[in-house]
Structure 1
Amino acid sequence: MKQLIVHCGPDSTQIALLERDKLVEYAAERSEKRGLAGSFFKGKVTNVIPGMQAAFVDIGQKKNAFLYIDDLLHPHLEKQPKRKPAISELLKPGQELIVQVVKEALGNKGARVTTHYSLPGRWLVYMPSAGYVAVSKKIGREEERARLKEIGEELRTEEEGLILRTVAEHAHKEDIAEDLAQLREQWETIRAKGRESASAPSVLHQDLSMVQRLMRDVYSPETDELIMDCPEQAGEAAAFLASMLHGKEPNIMIYGGDTPLFDYYGINQRLDKDFQRKLWLPGGGYLVWDTTEALTVIDVNTGKFTGGENLEDTVYRTNLEAAREIARLVRLRDTGGIIIVDFIDMINEEHRTAVWDVLEEGLTGDRTQHHILGWTKLGLLEMTRKRIREQPVFQGND
């Protein structure tokens, strides 16, 4: 069971996701500044840089967006030219084109954009010209994977690409087809606006709000609760869910208590603890969490934990506990880029494997792309996690 808890303040909306009473996601979105990731623009090329095989594109933001050559070529690898052309052969300054933001502007860098367009729906991700069908790797049963791939091949046109999402497991073909029809219509609207728009830069399509994205991606009306303290937004959420869930009744509770919503559910207290630099583990060990521009380093320490039968056992138990907590915190803090975990040294290879497995299992619910790369010669565990938006900073209620 999941609980989506949404607090609407005067200047921003905060959302917390609890899974089995564990806080696993947190995000805040300011009323006047919705994120750009996922949105479509008609942009104008301002500069082509052959040495970097990239171009700068004006999309109407403070900083020009960055377009790599690989994001300009055909999205299907087999349909790309054998020799990668120079970007100057494909783009010229002043040229206008439709681009989609795949990565928010971070620090001194502008947004990253692509022409590999994708529109996520409830059951699938629609790619207008990718030319293939894929199924989420998190769907393990081969029979179900084959069923979904067959449905995708039946529904798509030759040039279209589809990715069947994890939530599509056991979904009916009719629901998938309806989702696809809505996404096709959305794409045709974007294309039409791109043709009709008089000049670039201009916005063609804005991605869903933070609350809508989370409802689309994780909410199940049969088991989950949506708790909001704003009746107006609750009405909008109900209408959005009704259009997405095809008649299923969403379970929305409007909170009207005297205690602030995040305080009533203990969210503020948990966030205050989980966003500290030093984080205590339940068994007495602790983590030290340091983030730089280049990477995030997490140091594991035994602290007050002395409960093992011997030193190796104490270290092993602390590392297991740390792996579970790191998996939750990486998702909660939306940590992106390179992540290095300095677990306490373990002699037993089976223990190292078990710690890796626990970390990997803990990340199964993470919707952001991530890879655990393995142990370095110095005994550090390396992983990467896609960075799309600025990491959230918890500052309490509005």
Structure 2
Amino acid sequence: MKEILVHVGRQTIETAVMADGRLIEYDIEEAAGGKLAGNLYLGRVENVLPGMQAAFVNIGLARNAFLYIDDVLHPHLERQPKKKPSIAELLRPGQELIVQIAKEPHGGKGARVTTHYTLPGRYLVYMPHADYVAVSKKVADDRERDRLKEAGELIRQGEEGIILRTAAEGESCERLREDVEFLRELWREIEAKAAGAAAPCELHRDAGLMYRLVRDTLDAGTNRIWIDNAAAHEELRALIGSMAPSKLDCVSLYDSREKGLFEQHGVRAQLEQAYGREIRLPSGGSLVWDQTEALTVIDVNTGRYVGTTDLEETVFATNIEAAEEIARLLRLRDTGGIILIDFIDMGDERHRTQVAERLEMLARQDRTACHVLGWTRLGLMEMTRKKVRRDATLRLYEPCAACGGRGVVYAGAGRMRDGG
């Protein structure tokens, strides 16, 4: 059973997606809108650095945005030159151009931007200059994939590009055409605004959290949507009525005064457990989760789990369970970058293959681009997951002022004197 929960606070909106009572996705956003990824700006090139094949673009934020040459070249690989030119041949200081935030600013780094523009709709992603049609890998049926690709070719114009999303499965060509016409008109408005503006300025802000929830998360498998604010309940019904009218009956207002919506469904307790350094597995094993800015390392331990047959089977069962929990937590924590998993050593090569295949299958279900690269020579499982925003843990928690986020307590000089 899949349920979507929406908690509207005074300053924030929180959403949680539950599958059979387990939390699988969580997001939080300021009610006024705090998300930057997906926003479009008219920027001004400040510096061009041929040695880095990159440029820094002023888009009006505290730090200039980083624009790499691959994000300046044509979005269709077949349309790119065989020999990559110098960035200085493509951009010059003072030049104005439309850019879109692909990765939000973090720490001392500015945002990463691109000229490969994407405007997501309910059924498809519109790309004004990509010149190709693609279908979501989650659409498994070959005939349906062919039908959608054919429909995409019919409804696109000129050099437009289209990616048909999973929600497009089974939808009519006319419904897809309505989606692309809306997004095409939106892009024309963005271009018109840019033509009459002076850089740096914001041209388009991506939709708020509730809109994205309906657009990206609501699907045929959703059984119930709970929201705990009457005004927001009407707004949500209006959104669903226009985008997925068949799901209107799923929407309910939660108005209990005894217990909050998230507390009633155990969201807070599950967040506390999921965002800890050590995460217990149902069998008694555990995960130890350590994270830096670019790298996440996950260690799998058997813990109290002793199995019922032999050591190899115990290890295999723990690793399979760990793979499933890791896939869930990557989505829940919105972890991005390089991920290394130290599974417990397995002697049976078939078991190693099965663990890798299970992880790959779960990664394909992730809405964020996620790739399992396989076993390293040291026996670690290597993965990557697209990094768009700060890890959800960092959006909810601040590093401890005493230890600077290292999670240790200073023993003090007295312990050293005592021979500690």
TM-score by length of 2: 0.91
For structure 1, which segment, 356-365 or 257-266, has the greater mean C-alpha deviation from structure 2 after superposition? 356-365
CA distance 1:280–1:42, change in 2 (3 Å): same
Q: Deviations over 1:53-101 (max 9, x none)?
A: 1111111101111111111111112222233221112211111111111
CA distance 1:102–1:288, change in 2 (3 Å): same
What is the CA–CA distance in structure 2 between the aligned matches of 1:224 and 1:149, rounded to whole Å?
A: 29
8 Å Cα contact 2:2-2:18 kept in structure 1: yes
Q: Give the number of equivalent residue pairs.
A: 395
For structure 1, which segment, 218-227 or 98-107, has the greater mean C-alpha deviation from structure 2 after superposition? 218-227
- Counterpart of 1:102 in structure 2 is 102
CA distance 1:85–1:395, change in 2 (3 Å): closer
The answer to whether the aligner puts 1:190 opposite 2:190 as a matched pair is yes
The aligned runs of 1:98-247 (5 Å cut-off) are 98-197=98-197, 199-220=198-219, 223-245=222-244
CA distance 1:16–1:236, change in 2 (3 Å): same
Q: Deviations over 1:205-260 (max 9, x none)?
A: 10011222121012137743221111222222222222223676353211111111
Greater RCO between the two (CA within 8 Å, min separation 6)? 1
What is the CA–CA distance in structure 1 between the aligned matches of 2:77 and 2:358, rounded to whole Å?
A: 34
* Runs of at least 5 residues in structure 2 that lack an aligned partner in the other structure: 398-420
- Counterpart of 1:284 in structure 2 is 284
- Counterpart of 1:271 in structure 2 is 271
8 Å Cα contact 1:369-1:385 kept in structure 2: yes
- Counterpart of 1:255 in structure 2 is 254
What is the CA–CA distance in structure 1 between the aligned matches of 2:377 and 2:212, rounded to whole Å?
A: 40
What is the CA–CA distance in structure 2 between the aligned matches of 1:361 and 1:168, rounded to whole Å?
A: 21
CA RMSD of aligned residues (A): 1.6
What is the CA–CA distance in structure 2 between the aligned matches of 1:292 and 1:247, rounded to whole Å?
A: 43
What is the CA–CA distance in structure 1 between the aligned matches of 2:246 and 2:193, rounded to whole Å?
A: 30
Q: Deviations over 1:324-368 (max 9, x none)?
A: 111111111111100000000001011011111222223333100
What letter is aligned with 2:351?
Answer: H
What letter is aligned with 2:277?
Answer: R
For structure 1, which segment, 12-21 or 106-115, has the greater mean C-alpha deviation from structure 2 after superposition? 12-21
For structure 1, which segment, 213-222 or 157-166, has the greater mean C-alpha deviation from structure 2 after superposition? 213-222
* Runs of at least 5 residues in structure 1 that lack an aligned partner in the other structure: none
What is the CA–CA distance in structure 1 between the aligned matches of 2:369 and 2:119, rounded to whole Å?
A: 17
8 Å Cα contact 2:2-2:221 kept in structure 1: no
8 Å Cα contact 1:241-1:250 kept in structure 2: no
What is the CA–CA distance in structure 2 between the aligned matches of 1:17 and 1:89, rounded to whole Å?
A: 47
8 Å Cα contact 2:363-2:372 kept in structure 1: no
Q: Deviations over 1:140-193 (max 9, x none)?
A: 221111111111111111311111112212121111111111111111111111
8 Å Cα contact 2:45-2:56 kept in structure 1: yes
Q: CA deviation at 1:32?
A: 4.5
- Counterpart of 1:347 in structure 2 is 347
What is the CA–CA distance in structure 2 between the aligned matches of 1:246 and 1:203, rounded to whole Å?
A: 32
Q: CA deviation at 1:138?
A: 1.6
What letter is aligned with 1:270?
Answer: Q
SS in 2 for 1:253: strand
CA distance 1:383–1:335, change in 2 (3 Å): same
What letter is aligned with 2:102?
Answer: V
Q: Percent identity?
A: 53
The aligned runs of 1:333-372 (5 Å cut-off) are 333-372=333-372
- Counterpart of 1:332 in structure 2 is 332
What is the CA–CA distance in structure 2 between the aligned matches of 1:104 and 1:56, rounded to whole Å?
A: 15
Q: Deviations over 1:285-306 (max 9, x none)?
A: 1110111123101000010001
SS in 1 for 2:392: coil
SS in 1 for 2:56: strand
- Counterpart of 1:69 in structure 2 is 69
What letter is aligned with 1:59?
Answer: I
8 Å Cα contact 2:138-2:365 kept in structure 1: no
Q: Deviations over 1:264-305 (max 9, x none)?
A: 111111111111111111111111011112310100001000
SS in 2 for 1:224: strand
For structure 1, which segment, 234-243 or 366-375, has the greater mean C-alpha deviation from structure 2 after superposition? 234-243
8 Å Cα contact 2:33-2:208 kept in structure 1: no
Q: CA deviation at 1:2?
A: 2.1
What letter is aligned with 1:203?
Answer: E
SS in 2 for 1:82: coil
TM-score by length of 1: 0.95
- Counterpart of 2:305 in structure 1 is 305
CA distance 1:113–1:395, change in 2 (3 Å): closer
Q: CA deviation at 1:195?
A: 0.8
The answer to whether the aligner puts 1:92 opposite 2:88 as a matched pair is no
SS in 2 for 1:117: coil
8 Å Cα contact 1:221-1:251 kept in structure 2: no
What is the CA–CA distance in structure 1 between the aligned matches of 2:44 and 2:332, rounded to whole Å?
A: 36
CA distance 1:32–1:177, change in 2 (3 Å): closer
